[in-house]
Structure 1
């Protein structure tokens, strides 16, 4: 087993201050150099970003992120063009991933499945003082969120469907950030997902303290919401957007559908225990489980584990919102694959 870890980042302040703090931290981190090496070695790069269009849309939907990007640019001494291209979350390439999500009336449990070499290893708690809801959850491309919960108890996770026939629009992790920072409940999130432009096809799973869970199937061409408590890597309604091979996605979904009315501990174990066959170790195929997260809206608590068969680290988000400093510096775990995360000095 290979040891991995995620750094815990907590901050209260303006978006610009948050961006500047992150930029200062990134100067001492291997994340950005490691990502640059990956793009060079894989002969891949960002898609060109229409900066003016990106700024217009960010200003409309989540203006605080523009200030955060300015803070990042100033701390890193980058041009704003480079910072928007890197952190703006608009019209960028996104690698394929797996993922399984199970919800109950009181929880959203999520396995995030991807390649370890693309994982940032940053778990954030951020409370803005210049507008927007406080959010807890792991980051992607610094400004985006992989999954998470906000101060209103709205929880969100997403599942990759397809990147063929992509369009101009935001990628999943920036959409996740928009949902969590600007929406107070499931209805707000569904309306946002129907309005914004989508780069690629993803399912967005939503739960708030009322206990009703929705899966929103979103592609560059159509967005539709349905009630459900399971989601993997295929659409149930926008069938024309699915990939050809969906056997493993349907297999994981069937396992979760057979386990109804579980408590949060049993549901977490179902996704995190290797013997239950939802947790994946297909890391070579960018479909291995990197973290298992549980969001409990009514309690404002988050469970988080890296690797299989782990006892979760538990965050009390309510205490953070009340001013209590979180003492967890790193979340440690082990994976059956010897490739480090981007935040580790081993590439």
Structure 2
């Protein structure tokens, strides 16, 4: 999924390496690269999780981020940031915090630890990703879920999911396209907007919100 014209929020290359990005939850800034650009670089230069981890270890990043990497043989999540060395997470999953203590106010606002526990419990159960607490509708607070991506590196396949619909792509038979998905609207609101533009998602321009 492309971000801001140049970078990536997630993606997979033809070697079967898939990556995804999650904000690390700490508002710390330092000299370094924007992580969406780093993800694009990793997919263009690496073929395995081990190669990608080696690259990430050498690259400075500007803000705390969590990166999950998967290939047909291995998966890992690493925490990176301008103020910490790259740290491997205990599980191959992430929410919006890292290996450091989570302030009570952050947990009340984002429920990040509760969501990580839900991710661990869900495993690869896609329907669970489309229900609370993992599927979020707080779009007015920039915390709404944009899409859920189910990557299968061994098959070279990804399926993007929304409640009630999905969109599949494969490396072998990739076809460029676009899809518009209305986010955060009730049925009554949908009927009132008819021909007016509504909040939407394109695969090339994600709405600024949390990603499952």
- Shared fold by TM > 0.5? yes
Q: What's 1:245 paired with? A: 106
Structure 2, unaligned runs of 5 or more: 186-197, 206-212
SS of 1:214's equivalent in the other structure is strand
Alignment partners' CA distance in 1, 2:117 and 2:27: 26
SS of 1:312's equivalent in the other structure is strand
Distance 1:162 1:250, change over 3 A: closer
Conserved in 2, the CA contact under 8 Å of 1:302 and 1:315? yes
Bigger share in helix: 1
Conserved in 1, the CA contact under 8 Å of 2:93 and 2:120? yes
Q: Offset at 1:293?
A: 1.0
Q: Offset at 1:221?
A: 2.2
1:1-20 alignment, distance < 5 Å: none
Q: What's 2:195 paired with? A: none
SS of 2:69's equivalent in the other structure is strand
Q: Offset at 1:312?
A: 1.4
Alignment partners' CA distance in 2, 1:183 and 1:301: 18
Instruction: Determine which structure has greater relative contact order: mean sequence separation of CA pairs < 8 Å that are 6+ residues apart, divided by chain length.
Output: 1
Q: Offset at 1:299?
A: 0.4
Aligned partner of 1:286 among 142, 151, 158: 142
Query: Number of residue pairs matched?
Result: 188
Q: Offset at 1:331?
A: 1.9
Structure 1, unaligned runs of 5 or more: 1-137, 321-325
Output the aligned Cα RMSD. 2.2
Structure 1 position 219 matched with structure 2 position 67: no
Aligned partner of 1:268 among 121, 126, 147: 126
Q: What's 1:335 paired with? A: 183
Distance 1:281 1:140, change over 3 A: same
Alignment partners' CA distance in 1, 2:26 and 2:96: 12
SS of 2:72's equivalent in the other structure is coil
Conserved in 1, the CA contact under 8 Å of 2:182 and 2:201? no
SS of 1:187's equivalent in the other structure is helix
Q: Offset at 1:175?
A: 1.3
Distance 1:151 1:227, change over 3 A: farther
> Normalising to structure 1: TM-score of the pair?
0.50
SS of 2:182's equivalent in the other structure is strand
Could you list the structure 1 runs, at least 4 aligned residues long, displaced by more than 3 angstroms after superposition: 337-344
